[in-house]
Chains A and B, each alone.
Chain A
Amino acid sequence: MMDIGTSSPQPNLPSYVIHCNDGTQIATSDPGRAMVTGKCADLNKVKVPGLRV
């Protein structure tokens, strides 16, 4: 799991401003794993697709 940059806000995607308890605000189009864990450290982290098939 890592932030590979695919969650950056795009004009053609809905974007969400997320306020973390530590005061930081993050705009994202997909919070990624944070939706499951609830941790700000997991924001935008997604599973990296395998390169080998």
Chain B
Amino acid sequence: MNRHRALLVVAGLLLSAFTRAAGVDKLPTRQLDAPTTYVPGNISDPSGTLETFSQTRLISRVPFSPRSEPTAGPAAVPCGRRRVEYFSGRPATAISIHAGNGSVFRALDGANCPSATSLPRSRNHGIQPAAEFRAHPDVVAGAANAEFSIISIDDPYQCPKLRRPSQRSTASASFHNLKFINGIMWDGREPDLKTRPWMQPWSTPSPRLRHGCAADPDRSLESSVFTAQSVDTQAGDLTAQGATGGPVALSAQAFSPGINSGAALPLMFLPCTPLGLRHWRKRRGAAVHRARRVVVQYLPHGHFRRARIQRRSGRDVDRGHLLDLSRHPNVGATRCPR
């Protein structure tokens, strides 16, 4: 009996040794199941390094394939089958395949930097001005009988030193840092950031076409991806000594429209604007009410403090508080010119 036990113990030890040597405990499966996925910076250019950070685990393991990248418009991505494919393999692989050129892991900001321009065509031909002019390069090329050509560029900033949070926009299919996007439809058709079908990367502006996709389980995954510059060639590590550069610190920031959002605020958010909240007072309808709730929900607390307005919710917001706020058009500013 003792002999049998000794043999079993020896066999067990040998099996564990073989398993360890074969690296079974280091299978990528374990890594993918980790609660936090950290993708080291694979996008570098002479000015620094971009890093991508995801707060959630990878929820699908379909091998990444560059061919799965839709190239056409919204019809190429049916509802419910979206970019999770890009995350389904190893993110680092996806990045290396795209090498910064793809529409997924593109460096949206720094578009005036040739190496950060994501479109290969732009990169090769130096059509950075189009990006700076906020026009798609194809628009420039689309002017069939263009009577001019850009022969030189003098950019005093060269490549940007620090990059803002990149966001999805009509010109880019990137879905990083979506937490900070404020380009929702403020008329109430898309009442808040959570219900907006902005996970449709190539979505049309029409919410009617996209409402069926609003409850996608991949949303939490895709909305938890953050990309930011973490290393600067001159300044070094932007997270050193308590600095808050990089995607990890970015992911911890609270979203405040107009403060850390990339897009410009709607006019009604701007202080000292006669068109702002007063304009909304005269509007009626359920959609407007929903939009008003959004305004109150996403305005920074400081706005309300300065305006001495107590933050409430529900019908009070609809009926009264926006009106109160409209009487204080200069919230956030010391004094508005008259």
**A residues touching B (Cβ–Cβ < 8 Å)?**
9, 11-22, 25-26, 30-31, 34-40, 43, 53
Residues of B within 8 A of A25 (CB): 151
Per the bound structure, the CA–CA distance linking A12 and B221 in Å amounts to 40
Given contacts A17-B151, A31-B129, 11 further A-B contacts (CB under 8 A): A11-B156, A16-B150, A17-B153, A17-B154, A18-B149, A31-B148, A35-B139, A36-B135, A38-B144, A38-B148, A53-B274
Q: List 14 A-B contacts (CB under 8 A).
A: A14-B132, A16-B152, A17-B150, A18-B150, A19-B149, A20-B147, A22-B147, A30-B133, A31-B129, A36-B143, A38-B144, A38-B147, A38-B148, A39-B147
Chain A residues near B146 (CB-CB < 8 A): 38
A16 touches B139 (CB 8 A): no
Cβ–Cβ contact B148 & A16, under 8 A: no
Q: Chain B residue with minimal CB distance to A18?
A: B148
A36 to B145, CA, bound (A): 11
Chain B residues within 8 Å of A38, by CB: 143-148
Total A-B pairs, Cβ < 8 A? 66
How many residues of chain B are within 8 Å of chain A by beta carbon?
A: 25
| Interface status of B323 (Cβ within 8 A of chain A) | no
Closest residue to A43 on the B side, CB-wise?
B148
Nearest Cβ in chain A — how far from B264, in angstroms?
15
B155 touches A14 (CB 8 A): yes
Is B143 within 8 A of A37, CB to CB? yes
* A residues less than 8 Å from B144 (CB atoms): 38
Judge whether B299 is part of the interface by a CB distance below 8 angstroms: no
Whether B130 and A35, one on each chain, are in contact in the complex, defined by CB atoms closer than 8 angstroms, is: yes
Instruction: Contact check, A14 vs B149: say whether CB atoms are below 8 A apart.
Output: no
- In the complex, what residue of chain A is closest to B145 when comparing beta carbons? A38
Q: How far is the CA of A14 from the CA of B132 in the complex (A)?
A: 9
| Interface hub of A9, A30, A53 (most chain B Cβ within 10 A) | A53
- Min distance, Cβ A35 to any Cβ of chain B, angstroms: 5
Q: B244 → chain A, closest Cβ, in Å?
A: 27
Q: A29 to nearest B CB, angstroms?
A: 9
CB distance from B208 to the nearest CB of A (A): 28
Contacts of B148 on A, CB cut-off 8 Å? 18-21, 26, 31, 34, 38, 40, 43
